[in-house]
Amino acid sequence: MLEDIRQISNPFVRAITSGFFLSTLVTIPATAAIFLVNLKNESAYKFIFYASIASATVGAMGGLAAGKSKSETSKSPLVEAGGGIDWKDWRKFVVDRKVKESESITSFYLKPVDGGMIPNFTPGQFLTIQLDIPEQSKPVIRTYSLSDYIESTSHYRLSIKREPAPPDTIAPAGIASNFMHDHVHESSVILAKPPAGKFVLDVNSSQPAVLISNGVGITPMISMAKAAGLLNPQRHIWFLHGARDGSLHAFRDEVNAIAVSNPNLHIVYCYSRPSLTDEGNYQHKGYVDVDLIKNVVAPEMQNFYGSTDAEYFLCGSPSFMDSLRDGLREWGVADNKVLFESFAKTKPKKVEQAQGLTQEHVSIEVVFSKSGKTLSWNPKDGTILEFAEANDIYPDHSCRVGVCGTCMCKIPEGDVDYEETPTASVDRGSVLICISKPKTARVVLDI
């Protein structure tokens, strides 16, 4: 019965139901007993009256308390609420379909195990997933862009590139991507947090957008191209993608199909080393670069739109994005018209000296309060996350580029300097340790 009462979410209805139930439970047997013994004096009726009021009050209070204990239970980190309305933390998803998209990229279609609703997302956003990988000492958390778009979201699609070991090193291959490719199959269950991220296409804008990607950087671009085609097909979108050859070009047929249904989607594929069988499947031999934008995209844009004032979205390898950002800036495109997402950490171009520090006190005291470690940080130790890991402290993290917010922690004392402006929202009194370094002589972190 208590469980049934707990199912009632409205506290008022829960209190009345519970009060009525307890009052009935007390009043009916008491009345029956009084009639059985034929006790007809006034105090007997008064007793029944007060007993029913008291039991109703106790029942109502119990009903309210049952609701409190229910909401405490739902604070558990794994939110499995049916309907998914209150999905804030990790939720179980089953792999409904696994589809090979190219030699290196495989897609995973995810549906919630609880069968509830999943929220729509803005094209360009990502999911953070958590994997239990047997040989890893703690769960592995990674971030993957949502690579599909439908108006009423019934599934999420992640498209993951297998990261091989870097050539000529003894470094291991990528942990999460290889696990996904080799050990996550249809019906496997993984945990995911709700869609997040600010690298998004404003679908309502009428300004032309140029989506530029290489390799697996194509994932958020497909979502953007599909959303624009469904929600704002008037808008001109250029889809520029670079691949080595057709075997590594994922989603070619899917993007071509979007262009068939939306004539305002203009495709330019560039293959750097096309094979003979790729003939007819690409427009340019070489790389996607600013000259291609100046010579091919800009004249088309002028023709269709009457101006070359556009928004540029970049996602791809670090060197690809660096050269395009520099090239667009040199060409005169304002920085606020160029949005980009990094999948991998690049070395900051300029190694900033921590502000306010002189050479005499480059050694900073960093207290990792939960781990009980007080350590001395020096600029060569890198970011706080790198410093923690080097000292056998392994805080949660994922993207390492200030995008996903997984590494956010409280900073009760001191301050940090960011290598780059965080993209994730940072709570007041908290910092992202993956892209920050200590700034003040003592820094205390809740790690």
Ligand X SMILES: Cc1cc2nc3c(=O)[nH]c(=O)nc-3n(C[C@H](O)[C@H](O)[C@H](O)COP(=O)(O)OP(=O)(O)OC[C@H]3O[C@@H](n4cnc5c(N)ncnc54)[C@H](O)[C@@H]3O)c2cc1C
As a residue count, the chain comes to 447
The answer to the question of residue 99 lying near ligand X (CB under 6 A) is no
Q: Which of 37, 78, 171, 276 binds ligand X (CB under 6 A)?
A: 171
Q: Is 412 in the site for ligand X (CB under 6 A)?
A: no
- With CB under 6 A as the contact rule, the residue among 90, 109, 313, 343 that binds ligand X is 343
Answer for which of 55, 87, 107, 142 binds ligand X (CB under 6 A) is 142
Q: Is 161 in the site for ligand X (CB under 6 A)?
A: yes
Q: How many helices (H) and strands (E) does the chain have?
A: 10, 19
Instruction: Give the nearest distance from C-beta 97 to ligand X in angstroms.
Output: 17
Beta strands in 162-304 (DSSP E): 189-192, 209-214, 237-243, 265-271, 284-285
The pair of structure tokens assigned to 388 is 């923690």
Q: What is the dihedral of CA 82, 84, 89, 94, to 10 degrees?
A: 70
Contact between residue 239 and residue 225 where contact means Cβ atoms under 8 Å apart = yes
Single out the segment in contact with ligand X by CB under 6 A; choices: 111-119, 172-180, 300-308, 428-436: 172-180
Residue 32 near ligand X by CB under 6 A: no
- Give the binding range for ligand X (CB under 6 A) out of 166-174, 184-192, 246-254, 385-393: 166-174
Among 23, 107, 130, 219, binds ligand X (CB under 6 A): 219
Q: Does 416 bind ligand X (CB under 6 A)?
A: no
Residue choice 122, 145, 214, 223 for contact with ligand X (CB under 6 A): 145
Stretch that binds ligand X, among 162-170, 291-299, 358-366, 388-396 (CB under 6 A): 162-170
Segment near ligand X (CB under 6 A); pick from 163-171, 257-265, 273-281, 438-446: 163-171
**Residue 67 has which token pair?**
């609701």
User: What one-character-per-residue DSSP string does 4-24 give?
Assistant: HHHT---HHHHHHHHHHHHHH
Diameter of the chain measured on Cα atoms: 106
User: Of 198, 206, 251, whose CA–CA distance to 226 is shortest?
Assistant: 251
Q: Which helix (H) or strand (E) holds 388?
A: helix 384-390
274 phi and psi, to 5 degrees?
-65, 150
List contacts with ligand X (CB under 6 A).
Answer: 126, 142-145, 159-161, 163, 165-166, 169, 171-177, 216, 219, 341, 343, 399, 401, 403-404
